[in-house]
Amino acid sequence: MNELHAIIESIVFAAESSVSLDRLCELLPEFDRGEIKCAVTDLSAVFAERDGGVHLVEVAGGWQFRTRPPYQQYVGRLVKVKAAKFSQSALETLAIIAYRQPITRAEVEHLRSVDSGAVLKSLLDKKLVKILGKKDIPGRPLIYGTSKEFLEVFGLKDLKSLPTLKEIQALDEAPQFERQEELPLGDGVPEEVEESLPFG
């Protein structure tokens, strides 16, 4: 591991949120962008091969150290961070915004068929949604989109990492192992059941 690897590792470790390649280049003007990009990729591979408690992953448009899934429960004992819980209405609204952004409140309410002002405010307070600007139509309504925090909370590299509608629909289909032919158990003749069973 060379000096640049060590510098990037220390920056990403100290950062409160994911650090983008652009931000690393701003912080490290003495290094070439190509060098920085290669160093980050190499560093990620080093942590992947190490197979330790943390790994360096690309999330929310940048790089971040994250606890590997098998060890999250142990870190939870120390940190005691409450898992983010969302109501059904919050999840619906968040999904609509994630897939349809940029979108106005009226458009969200049209799709949900219910007032969404309180839910939108809650998502804004949690910094999962942000105001992107105003739509160029009469009344100039605010338009909403998801934030960097949204990507971090859901562990997404970018919005392209969201599952497609086809993938979501596939979750409803019965897994292959549930579709099986009749298994040849016994000689095919069901045994007679004793009429006087010891229960009711």
Query: Taking Cα atoms as reference points, which of 27, 74, 61, 76 lies closest to residue 157?
Result: 61
Q: pLDDT value at position 13?
A: 92
Q: Of the given ranges (78-82, 133-137, 143-147), which has the lowest mean pLDDT? A: 78-82
Asked whether this chain's domains 3-76 and 88-153 adopt the same fold, the reply is yes
CATH topology assigned to domain 3-76: Arc Repressor Mutant, subunit A (1.10.10)
Share of the chain above pLDDT 70, in %: 80
32: DSSP letter: -
For residue 93, give Cα distances in angstroms to 17, 105, 108, 116.
Answer: 24, 10, 7, 8
Residues forming beta bridges with residue 198, ordered by sequence position: none
Where do the domains of the chain lie?
3-76, 88-153
Q: Rg of the Cα trace of the chain?
A: 25
Q: Residue 31 and residue 118: Cα distance in Å, rounded?
A: 47
- Which pLDDT belongs to residue 176? 53
Residues in the chain: 200
Whether 166 has a pLDDT exceeding 60, the answer reads yes
Query: 82: pLDDT confidence band, cut at 50, 70 and 90?
Result: low
What pLDDT sits at residue 130? Answer: 92
DSSP secondary structure string for all residues of 40-99: HHHHHHHHHHHT-SEEEEEETTEEEEEE-GGGHHHHHHHH-PPPP---HHHHHHHHHHHH
Structure token digits, residue 120: 């939108």
Query: Looking at domain 88-153, does it have CATH number 1.10.760.10?
Result: no
The 3-state DSSP class for residue 134 equals strand
Which residue in the block uniquely carries the two structure tokens 């606890």?
67
Task: Note the pLDDT tens digit of each residue in 12-50.
Answer: 999 888 899 999 999 999 999 999 999 999 999 998 888
Across the chain, which distance is largest between two alpha carbons, in Å? 87
Q: What's the confidence (pLDDT) of residue 25?
A: 93
Residues 112/79, Cβ–Cβ less than 8 Å: no
